[in-house]
């Protein structure tokens, strides 16, 4: 690692990219430090410019969105959520969209008065209060959030409880494996039955064609025999007449 006295170090809690190519930096900060706002801008813009190499096209640059979850009051507003954009001073339009900064100030979030209708509020409630809870709140419906509560709860389990959980997980996976095996065998059996049915249908069609052909041959044979008999009769009549 480079000497910290000579080089600044970028430490990111989470860095992700969505399907549209947008980059997200998600950072949690427990205590306020000098130059916090400058550090946030420095690393966000650094992440923006380092997406391409020298000589590559600028349109390849995707937006970088910073999300800071901070456990102290930093901005003057009363809302625990704040979004910071580059705006045109005259029109107040956001036309430079390369970077965006979003902050969640946990101390401004009042879990007693805040409505839990929005998913954002539910996640902020989880971040701030999950360590005090013994069960998942009733307002939680989102699958991802439920999973987060379950994982958070595991951190306070005893070794015995974790062992029981792991054993239960293994049993669930074994059960899924058995079900999957039965399902695959059922699909295989259905495919075999389908192939057998198609083969039988094909054989039946060929059989019907053969029967029709045999009938046609028999009919033509009978017509030929009748024609021969008629000709023999005509020849016999001509002989009797002395012709």
Regarding whether 197 and 224 lie in a shared domain, the answer is: yes
Within 10 angstroms of residue 30's Cβ, the number of other Cβ atoms is 10
Mean pLDDT of 9-13: 48
Structure tokens at 15: 């860095």
Write out pLDDT tens, residues 180-229. Answer: 888 888 888 888 888 888 888 888 988 888 888 888 888 888 888 888 88
Which tokens go with 1? 């690692």
- Find out whether 81 and 45 touch, Cβ atoms under 8 Å: no
Verify that 28 and 138 share a domain, yes or no.
yes
CA distance 116 to 93: 31
The answer to the question of residue 6 being in a domain is no
pLDDT over 70 at 154, yes or no: no
Q: How far is CA 203 from CA 78, 192, 217, in A?
A: 80, 16, 21
Do residue 30 and residue 115 come from a single domain? yes
Q: How many domains does the chain have?
A: 2
Residue 156 shares a structural domain with residue 181: no
Residue 68 contacts residue 27 (beta carbons within 8 Å): yes
Q: Identify the DSSP state of 71.
A: S
Same domain, 220 and 237: yes
Q: Please tell me the predicted confidence (pLDDT) of residue 11.
A: 40
Q: Where are the alpha helices (DSSP H) in 107-158?
A: 119-129, 143-154
| Same domain? 226 vs 146 | no
Residues 169 and 192 in one domain: no
% the chain with pLDDT above 90 = 34
Has residue 7 been placed in a domain? Answer: no
* Predicted pLDDT at 132: 79
pLDDT of res. 148: 86
> Are 95 and 164 members of one domain?
yes
- Sheet containing 64-70: order of strands: 14-17, 23-29, 64-70, 96-105, 81-86
CA separation, residue 77 to residues 74, 109, 132, 179, 184 (Å): 9, 12, 27, 55, 59
Is residue 9 situated within a structural domain? no
Last residue of a domain, one of 144, 174, 204: 174
Structural domain boundaries enclosing 93 = 14-174
Query: Are residue 196 and residue 216 in the same domain, yes or no?
Result: yes
Q: Which of 7-16, 62-71, 164-173 has the highest average model confidence (pLDDT)? A: 62-71
Q: Is residue 208 part of a domain?
A: yes
Q: Which of 9-13, 93-97, 112-116, 142-146 shows the highest mean pLDDT?
A: 93-97
pLDDT of residue 147 exceeding 60, the answer is: yes
Mean pLDDT over all residues of the chain?
A: 84
- The answer to whether residue 1 sits within a structural domain is no
Q: Are residues 179 and 68 in the same domain?
A: no
Distance between CA atoms of residues 145 and 119, nearest Å: 9
* The pLDDT of residue 6: 41
Does pLDDT of 25 surpass 90?
yes
Task: Please tell me the distance from the alpha carbon of residue 122 to that of residue 124, in angstroms, as a whole number.
Answer: 5
Domain assignment present for residue 145? The answer is yes
Q: Which of 147, 174, 201 is the last residue of a domain?
A: 174
226 and 195 within one domain: yes
Span 42-96, pLDDT tens digits: 999 999 999 999 899 999 999 999 999 999 999 998 999 999 999 999 999 999 9
Which of the listed residues 127, 153, 174 is the one where a domain comes to its end? 174
Whether residue 137 is found in the same domain as residue 197:
no
């Amino acid at each position: 690692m480079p000497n910290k006295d000579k080089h600044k170090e970028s430490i990111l809690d989470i860095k992700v990219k969505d399907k549209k190519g947008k980059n997200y930096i998600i950072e949690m900060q427990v205590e306020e430090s000098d130059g916090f706002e400058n550090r946030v801008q420095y690393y966000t813009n650094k992440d923006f410019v380092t997406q391409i190499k020298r000589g590559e096209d600028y349109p390849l640059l995707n937006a970088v969105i910073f999300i800071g979850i901070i456990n102290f009051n930093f901005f003057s507003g009363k809302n625990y959520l704040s979004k910071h954009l580059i705006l045109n001073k005259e029109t107040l339009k956001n036309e430079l969209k390369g970077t965006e900064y979003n902050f969640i100030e946990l101390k401004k979030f009042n879990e007693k008065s805040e409505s839990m209708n929005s998913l954002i509020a539910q996640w902020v409630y989880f971040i701030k209060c999950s360590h005090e809870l013994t069960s998942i709140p009733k307002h939680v419906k989102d699958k991802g959030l439920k999973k987060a509560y379950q994982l958070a709860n595991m951190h306070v389990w005893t070794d015995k409880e974790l062992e029981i959980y792991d054993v239960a997980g293994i049993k669930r996976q074994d059960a899924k494996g058995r079900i999957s095996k039965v399902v695959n065998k059922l699909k295989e059996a259905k495919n075999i039955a389908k192939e057998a049915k198609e083969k039988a249908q094909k054989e039946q069609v060929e059989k019907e064609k053969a029967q029709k052909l045999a009938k046609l041959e028999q009919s033509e044979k009978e017509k030929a025999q009748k024609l021969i008999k008629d000709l023999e009769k005509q020849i016999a009549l001509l002989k009797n007449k002395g012709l």
